Amino acid sequence: MDIIHPLPPSSLPKYLYRIHYPSSWTALTPLPSLLAKDRTTLHPPTLTTLTAHLTWKINLPSPFISTLSSKPHAISWARSLEQYKNPLTREAVKLITLKPRFATGVVVYNPKLCFAAHAILPPEEVRDFVRDEEYIILHSIPSSWIVSVENIDAASINPVDVDITKEEMGEGLNMPDPRVGFDEFITGMEDICLEMKLILESFKRLGTYTQAILRG
């Protein structure tokens, strides 16, 4: 059997990030909460179900909702979407910040760990994208997990999550600790470089917009 097993709540990251966009099959409700397209399949998820989700099998409604633990990577992916590139639909692309909390019925998986547990590599077409920071949630995400829903450019200018305290931020950049392991250290450094790039891009857009107003 290729049944996949969920993560224990204690192993979840402090924050997760979901990109919501107009053509997504995941629904953002007014509560707000998030609902997967398929909420009726009740048997335990398998690698087959996971693979169909990761390869975007549009003829198979997915029971999963994709999230990332890296805010810079989430924003970068959002900016690659056609809906973001189109000025008419850009405002409809949202960054949803999630704070995992204990909630009965919320089941979370890490695709990389799921494949590793079965000693199977992810499908070749998605192998480069199945990384440590990807987490998928079965069926729904409750409103108690949702911290904020922001436009992408606003989220880029404000890199700090709403309820991170000054003590948690520390002084200056939150540099990764090299003692956590080489792969984790490199991923942390990549996130810092990407976040700095996103902030610079946002300020450039803001400057262009301000100049256009002054000239008008």
d(CA 43, CA 48): 13
Residue numbers of the domain that contains 20 = 9-169
Q: Is 97 part of a structural domain of the chain?
A: yes
Return the CATH number at 135: 3.90.210
User: What tokens appear for 143 in the block?
Assistant: 């409103």
In three-state form (DSSP H/G/I as H, E/B as E, the rest C), the secondary structure along the chain is CCECCCCCHHHCCCCEEEEECCCCCCEECCCCCEECCCCCCCCCCEHHHHHHHHCCCCCCCCCEEEEECCHHHHHHHHHCCHHHHCCCCHHHCEEEEECCCCCCCCCEECHHHHHHHCCCCCCHHHHHHCCCCEEEEECEECHHHEEEEEEHHHHHHCCCCCCCCHHHHCCCCCCCCHHHCHHHHHHHHHHHHHHHHHHHHHHHHHHHHHHHHHHC
Asked if the model's pLDDT at residue 103 lies above 80, the reply is no
Q: Is 212 part of a structural domain of the chain?
A: no
Among left, alpha and beta (phi > 0; psi -120 to 50; other), residue 170 is left
Closest CA to 201 of 213, 193, 189: 193
Lowest-pLDDT choice from 3-17, 25-39, 78-92, 118-132:
118-132
Given this model, what pLDDT does residue 153 score? 87
Given this model, what pLDDT does residue 155 score? 76
Q: Is 179 part of a structural domain of the chain?
A: no
DSSP state of 30: S
Question: How many independent structural domains does the chain possess?
Answer: 1
Lowest-pLDDT choice from 24-28, 111-115, 194-198:
194-198
Residues paired with residue 97 on neighbouring β-strands, in sequence order: 17, 148
Closest CA to 19 of 63, 62, 83: 83
111/183: higher pLDDT: 111
Q: Is 211 part of a structural domain of the chain?
A: no
Lowest-pLDDT choice from 15-29, 107-121, 196-210:
196-210
Residues paired with residue 118 on neighbouring β-strands, in sequence order: none
- What global pTM score does this model have? 0.73
Band (pLDDT 50/70/90 cuts) for residue 199 is low
Amino acid letter, residue 143: S
